[in-house]
A and B are shown apart, each in its own frame.
Chain A
Amino acid sequence: MRQFVLKRFCYSLLSLFLLSVTIFFFVRVTGDPATLLTEPGASEADIAAIHQKFGLDRPLVVQYVLFMTSLFRGDLGQSFYYQTPVMDLYWSRLPHSLLLAAVAMAFSLIIGIPSGIIAAVRIGSFWDSVGKVFALLGLSLPSFFIGLLMILLFSVYLGWLPSSGSGTPLHVIMPAFALGWYFAAAHMRLTRSSMLEVLGSEYIKLARLKGLPQRLVIAKHAFKNALIPVLTLAGINLVLMINVAVIVETVFAWPGIGRLLYEGISFRDFPVVQGVVILGGAMIVAVNLLVDIVYAVIDPRIRLGS
């Protein structure tokens, strides 16, 4: 078991290293941030001063080594645009993203799981079709479109909810719905297929042969086993919701990490983009590592097979 964990841990570190290399060089392909921080036609001296200020005049390899050295000290650098430590920016936005992700996740599970179960239990029925349409719309409609429609309906026409920003429970409703619908659809589809697989298994047939009522078969025997892959996916999705809700947070002016990433990309703020991507990547790697370990604990075949 220890060897398994050690091996997975090394893979995780390697993933993070590769991520750091990729994001560091990718952001620099996008162009020179100095051109966005100065007026059009700024003098070469002004451009050079900006390069020097942010260390962009040094060779790329030197910049990378400095970046990694700082990273190991827990320092993600200083934002070019906000001139504030990236870590401070990240921590100031994280609570908002956690709140949004938690509500969106709750919404996606509350909607996705029951509708997936109903669709599986009543396969081919009207409710199954409704579920399919719901999933199709959720997966295909862009979240900015849903967001704008919601603003128009609930904010402008009905006047029920604030259009943007944060601060009250009412503010979180629309962004959470817009963000959660896509994931609700994904959870619904996985719940449905997982339930169908479980419902076709031998032990469910046995339970039915024993004369257990349908509700008990579904709730006690089928649902519990069908839930495992859904919750695994939900864990990964939660991390995605925290880190990459770029469009939803921008449309609703929600002060989260996704919007920070959008701002970083817009201003070619390399330290911000690198920081958000690496911290997001670290979260995903950590969740995956945790899932691997839990699986290995539950199922010895996994660790022995490895």
Chain B
Amino acid sequence: MTSNETARSVLSRTPLTRRDALSMGAMAAAAAIGGRDARAASGKLIWGVHVSIAPSWLDPAETNGLVTPYMLLYAVHDGIAKPMPGQLYAPGLASSWQASEDGLTYEFVLRDGAVFHNGEPVTAEDVRYSFQRYRGTDHAPLHDRVDSVDAPDARHVRFRLKSAWPDFLAFYTQSTGAGWVVPKKYVEKVGEDAFKMSPVGAGPYKFVSYKPGIELVLEAFDGYWRKKPSVQQLVMKVIPDEATRLAALKRGEIDIAYSIRGELAEELRQSPGLALKPVVIHGTFYLYFPEQFDAASPWHDPRVRLAASLALDRPSINQALTLGYSHLTGASIFPEGFEFYWQPPAPKYDPEQAKQLLSAAGYPKGFNAGFFFCDSSYSNLAEAVLNNLGEVGIRVQLRPVERAAFIKGYAEKSFKNIIMNGTGAFGNVATRLASLAVKGGAFVYGSYPDIDALFPQQAAELNHDKRAAILQQMQQMVHERTMFVPIWQLGFINGIGPRVAESSFGKISGYPYTAPYDELAIKGA
């Protein structure tokens, strides 16, 4: 309903004086002017972003391993290769690449006609410079394993590794920002700090302006090699409050709203003209029992861990909290779509069998399982889970911990009993195993020697199929021992308004935001 229609409908129902009618007319006229201002700009899409945009997100060299910076990287910059619709390693600025048989050399051929926003061509020297300049997460293992980077000519880049490293491409093009290319001459000319505030990239949109914490404005780059973007201007407004984002979407002040959860998502679903855009991201949520490696603990018995898994009514939790959009894969720490993923059997909900298992394990009346630690921002999920556990006799006390303290406590091994965690880290099955399941991992409280023994084998295996077989065997072992209890792979819910013809949500597997940006479209434009 427009402002004028609203005013008319109010006028028709209420006895009003002439003064009331005049003042209401004036307000409606003012609102109409405001409404036109918000909607009129054809060729412009406006986002309501849930997090404050940091300038470091505009510089690939500072990529921090979280998915959020990619919200801007996909718009402003381009990579040698990157995840794109239907492809984990889609050619980007490199049209092709080849690894040597011994796995020690990777050679990339740059695409003809790829240029930066300032008109300069993307060269091999820019690729080399961007790699060496990278200082974000995992720069040390990446740089340490690369012996040299050569640029024999403007279109060829050759990486020589110190030893064979099957995950080189995963690290170079996915889990770090080292493969995203910046113009060397421009960065050297303006300096590191100025580059973040006025970046030049080779992506589909060029930088226009940035107000820290408030908004970012981008404009279509006609010279983008892949496709000329059809939307002229993108505005990303930071609106921290979820309810306000939804209100702005309903009013047409924004076209795309990130992260709308629970009851608000339901309201969004029922709002005429708006559409839900849920995306299943690589964020897997699971329960972990740090005491499973202690023979004196009830959690040492795999039957008890399986009972905990059988106690969870995942479909009901999913429906209540994410409107059924999360995926119940049963894969605990490994997301669907990851390289080397093995699909386990679907998780079952069977409280009676859970009670029988507990009884067989010596706990016919259940047991007091101590504390249940979780990131406080997911307390609602934790409450649902511990209610289910309580129904079969596993009694726990919730201990929600502020996010940073939770991560710190988990990594420092200071938690006990039950930990509920979610991880959306990049990488592949091997990187998840490395950090969560095998000896020496950042979040590993204990491990199983046979699983540990397989890990170096897969890391040294250059044959992709053989490596996949080892990693699938490891996933199966993790599953069969109920090392982790799977909850879900999170459905990240977004909303779009009536003007959006193509939002690009869900095109890239596991990616929560809109991309590729050059595929965005406005209705009627």
Contact = CB atoms under 8 A, between A and B. Distances in A.
A35 B407 contact: yes
B247 A83 contact: no
B419 to A, nearest CB: 12
B6 A152 contact: no
Contacts of A250: 240-241
Given A159-B3, A163-B248, A253-B238, A40 B212 contact: no
A43 B140 contact: yes
B64 A39 contact: yes
A1 interface: no
B138 A92 contact: no
Contacts of A262: 240
A89 interface: yes
Contact of A39 (B66, B213, B243): B66
Contacts of A89: 212-213
A260 interface: yes
A38 B55 CA distance: 15
Interface in B116-150: 135, 137-141
Contact of A253 (B1, B30, B139, B241): B241
Given A151-B244, A164-B244, A253-B238, A40 B411 contact: yes
Given A83-B56, A255-B213, A160 B3 contact: yes
Interface in A130-188: 148, 151-152, 155-165, 168, 170
Contacts of A79: 212
Interface string A14-57: 00000000000000000110011111111101100100000000
A39 B65 contact: yes
Nearest to B243: A148
A35 B408 contact: yes
Contact of B248 (A81, A157, A164, A170): A164
A165 B27 CA distance: 19
Contact of B135 (A49, A168, A267): A49
Given A148-B243, A160-B3, A165-B237, A42 B250 contact: no
Contacts of A40: 407, 410-411, 423, 425, 442-443
A165 B253 CA distance: 10
Contact of A155 (B27, B135, B251): B251
Main secondary structure of the interface of B (DSSP, over half): helix
B292 to A, nearest CB: 20
Contacts of B38: 162
Which of A40, A159, A253 lies at the interface centre, i.e. has the most chain B CB atoms within 10 A of its CB? A40
Main secondary structure of the interface of A (DSSP, over half): loop
Which of B64, B193, B211, B244 lies at the interface centre, i.e. has the most chain A CB atoms within 10 A of its CB? B244
Q: Range of interface residues on chain A?
A: 35 or more
Contacts of A255: 211, 213-214
Which of B241, B253, B425, B443 lies at the interface centre, i.e. has the most chain A CB atoms within 10 A of its CB? B241
A170 B28 CA distance: 12
A263 B213 contact: yes
Contacts of A32: 404, 408
A57 B370 CA distance: 36
Contacts of B37: 168
Interface string A194-238: 000000000000000000000000000000000000000000000
A11 interface: no
A189 interface: no
Interface in B9-36: 10, 27-28, 30-31, 34-35
A162 B193 CA distance: 35
A144 to B, nearest CB: 8
B297 to A, nearest CB: 24
B31 to A, nearest CB: 5
Interface in B51-88: 52, 54-56, 64-66
Which of B238, B240, B408, B410 lies at the interface centre, i.e. has the most chain A CB atoms within 10 A of its CB? B240
A283 interface: no
A33 B451 CA distance: 35
B251 A260 contact: no
A251 B54 contact: no
Interface in B215-253: 237-241, 243-244, 247-248, 250-251, 253
A78 to B, nearest CB: 9
Given A40-B407, A170-B31, A255-B213, A83 B244 contact: no
Contact of A268 (B137, B197, B404): B404
A84 interface: yes
Nearest to A78: B193
A45 B38 CA distance: 46
A72 B200 CA distance: 36
A192 interface: no
Contacts of A37: 64
B320 interface: no
A39 B27 CA distance: 48
Nearest to B141: A43
A295 interface: no
Interface string B258-276: 0000000000000000000
B213 A168 contact: no
A158 B6 contact: yes
B235 to A, nearest CB: 11
B137 to A, nearest CB: 6
A54 to B, nearest CB: 12
A164 B253 contact: yes
B247 A164 contact: yes
B425 A41 contact: yes
A83 B54 CA distance: 8
Interface of B: 1-3, 6, 10, 27-28, 30-31, 34-35, 37-38, 52, 54-56, 64-66, 135, 137-141, 193, 196-197, 211-214, 237-241, 243-244, 247-248, 250-251, 253, 402-405, 407-408, 410-411, 423, 425, 435, 441-443
Given A83-B55, A160-B30, 6 more contacts: A83-B56, A159-B1, A163-B244, A164-B239, A168-B37, A255-B211
